[in-house]
Amino acid sequence: MGLLGHLLWTLGTAWALAVVAPAADAQVFSVPLDAEAASTLHWRVDYARRAVQVEVHVGLDERAWFALGFSDYGEPAPADYCVLWRDWRGLVRLQDAHAAADGRLHLDAHQDCLGFRHTRAGNLTKFAFQRQFDTCDPDDYVIEEGTTHVVWAAGAGPLFRLDGVSVLGEGARRGMQRAQLLKNTDVHDDVPPDAWHLDVRADRVQVPAVDTTYWCHVVKVPQQLARKHHVVRYEALIQHGNEGLVHHMEVFHCEAPLGQAVPLYRGPCTAAARPDASQVCKRVLAAWAMGATPFVYPKEAGLPIGGPQFNPYVMLEVHYNNPENKSDWVDSSGIRLTLSATLRPHDGGVMELGLEYTDKMAVPPGQPHFQLTGHCIAECTEVGIPGGGITVFGSQLHTHLTGVRLVTRHVRAGRELPEMNRDNHYSTHFQEIRRLKRPVQVLPGDALVTTCTYDTRARPNVTLGGFSIQDEMCVNYIHYYPKVDLEVCKSSVSDASLQSYFRLLHELDGQDTGPHLGVSGNYRAVRWTPVRARVLSALYDEAPLAMQCNRSSGARFPGDWAAMAATRVTAPLPAAPRPCPLREHGRHGGEDEDEDGPAAAPQHADAVRMEDWGQGDDMDWGQGHGRH
């Protein structure tokens, strides 16, 4: 049927945005739903009403159904959906349903896809609805801070009813897109008049016909940067038409001595031909992932770049996502840095929290949610952060392939303060630097505790901490001002505790561990069982810490950091209450829905005249639930 065939993308994003932009003042955000950007998702966030307003544009056969929804990590089922379909009488409706593990849709007893609108011209369907963050319906996904996995499915009609249709069925098309739905809408751009752009972009890259390519592109920055500047903002420059291809991008500074040239390598990052001399390009300046809005520094600070000692090379890394293995992609996307020589009051800094990059921390195989915790302890912030404290305004959470959830907690004198950042649906494929909605002041003596949760059910062997993509990390790169000398505040289990653990495993549990094997070898020698995994977890929770409390120079702050006590929380943060009044259940999504129900605004597709459709002002967002 070519269900998602050709949306008239030539009409362009500007047109798409015009449809949703006019009402109210809320910003409209957009992401493509598939690699060709044949279907797109647009949304606005209404924090006052704790609701997301969604509009989908999709090329769809007249009788086809289209489901848009959410799942924990992008799986098509089980998942929660709002489903557009047309019944045998030609009535177009939107119903709230959930797909069970077998893919079959079941109507929710409570219907929460509200304020349905739709229009259609040719094969292009646009539909809109509103959804509370938390509907309090156990059949519904709760839209949380951090990453949301938006899933969609489409299939052929006609349907006599929705119940029982399978999103995994033969002929159904599916896809998934990650987005931070609950974006920070309180970011104000304040670009100085002398600002200029430094565009770091790929140059007509012939994207290889494989699923995943990391493309590296080294450039020399202009002479102007011999003078110190502040980066005040950066954003993606995506080549028109390649919105679905460019998955994420980072700009790195090449940390080499001033006189040392870095080869202007252009090619796959993992190619054997990549010169070793470009491996120094790894200090992150900017990071963007699909769906991210421009990153704007607060007016008090900018990221320092340039100056007399600045090595003038930077490297762009682009992750191309080409699941169809197409061979005809050509791309010149990149990142635009907005720079100013008018320096702001503070230099912004980046600090690493979490776990040390070391094989001393490991995740046993077969674990659905194993946790590792990295501590930035009070003793380290006492020596590393001056009396006035620092203000943290941004955060980039980072693990490798098995990380599924991260949180950084903030503790002052045993009392837990509001969390600094959390992502309950983290994906390594969606690492944005995000502006915090609530800037966090960190004082000397505060502790920051970062916990990562890993899912190793698909791993036959132990996963060790380390640098390779198959190894794991647990890091929160925090962006803050004013810049201080503390750069790394991370931990691992103390060496002595780990050695006695391996010894006891041998002596008491008959494992083939031994002093000659080294740390990695010892972890690999254990025959992992659920009980041994629990004992390891208890060791990590109880043992003293080896701290990396390091300056920007890479040297440790003075003192013996080999066996420090982990942060203890005496007064934990109470759980946030859910906004769920007791409410009447037992309504069924059927013909007799009330005003807010899925059948609230049934309409013949043909009833919408072309003029309305073209201007799109029938999508009157501001009214929320109104009838058409």
Q: Which residues bind ligand NAG (CB under 6 A)?
A: 1-2, 5, 61, 122-123, 210-211, 324-325, 460-461, 488, 548, 550, 554-556
Is residue 319 annotated as a catalytic residue, yes or no?
Answer: no
Q: How far is the CB of 5 from ligand NAG (least distance, A)?
A: 5
Q: How far is the CB of 548 from ligand NAG (least distance, A)?
A: 5
Nearest CB to ligand NAG, comparing residues 158 and 622: 158
Dump the DSSP string for 129-189. Answer: EEEES----TTSPPP-SS-EEEEEEEE----S-STT-BTTSTT-EEEEEEE--S-------
- The residues that bridge with 233 in the sheet, in sequence order, are 296, 338
Residue 88 CB contacts under 8 Å (≥ 6 apart), including other chains: 158, 159, 160
Q: How far is the CB of 613 from ligand NAG (least distance, A)?
A: 13
Closest CA to 267 of 180, 202, 212, 326: 202
Q: How far is the CB of 61 from ligand NAG (least distance, A)?
A: 5
Q: How far is the CB of 270 from ligand NAG (least distance, A)?
A: 13
Instruction: Find out whether 408 and 421 touch, Cβ atoms under 8 Å.
Output: yes
Q: How far is the CB of 250 from ligand NAG (least distance, A)?
A: 19
* Helix residue ranges, H only, 313-441: 378-384
Nearest CB to ligand NAG, comparing residues 498 and 526: 526
Dump the DSSP string for 484-527. Answer: -SEEEEEEEE-HHHHHHHHHHHHHHH-----GGGHHHHHHHHS-
Q: How far is the CB of 401 from ligand NAG (least distance, A)?
A: 12
Give the Cα separation of 56 and 65 in Å (integer): 13
Angle, vertex CA 301, rays to CA 25 and CA 226, nearest 5: 120
Nearest CB to ligand NAG, comparing residues 76 and 597: 76
Residue found by looking up tokens 């489409």 in the block: 154
Give the Cα separation of 407 and 474 in Å (integer): 10
Nearest CB to ligand NAG, comparing residues 449 and 526: 526
Nearest CB to ligand NAG, comparing residues 177 and 463: 463
- The residues that bridge with 287 in the sheet, in sequence order, are 250
Is residue 118 annotated as a catalytic residue, yes or no?
Answer: no
- The phi-psi region of residue 399 (left if phi > 0; otherwise alpha if psi is between -120 and 50; otherwise beta) is beta
Active-site hit among 214, 429, 506, 628: 214
Closest CA to 391 of 340, 341, 345: 345
Q: What is the sign, positive or negative, of the torsion defined by CA atoms of 221, 227, 228, 234?
A: negative
Give the Cα separation of 509 and 532 in Å (integer): 9
Closest CA to 213 of 273, 286, 270, 289: 270
Nearest CB to ligand NAG, comparing residues 476 and 550: 550
Closest CA to 50 of 135, 127, 146: 135
Give the Cα separation of 22 and 31 in Å (integer): 19
Nearest CB to ligand NAG, comparing residues 92 and 179: 92
Helices (H) and strands (E) in the chain, counts: 6, 36
Nearest CB to ligand NAG, comparing residues 265 and 454: 454
Active-site hit among 149, 230, 253, 398: 398
**Residue 113 neighbours by CB distance under 10 Å:** 28
Closest CA to 324 of 244, 254, 398: 244
Q: How far is the CB of 210 from ligand NAG (least distance, A)?
A: 5
Instruction: Find out whether 434 and 336 touch, Cβ atoms under 8 Å.
Output: no
Nearest CB to ligand NAG, comparing residues 23 and 525: 525
The helix (run of H) or strand (run of E) holding residue 541 is helix 530-542
Catalytic residue numbers, as ranges: 214, 398
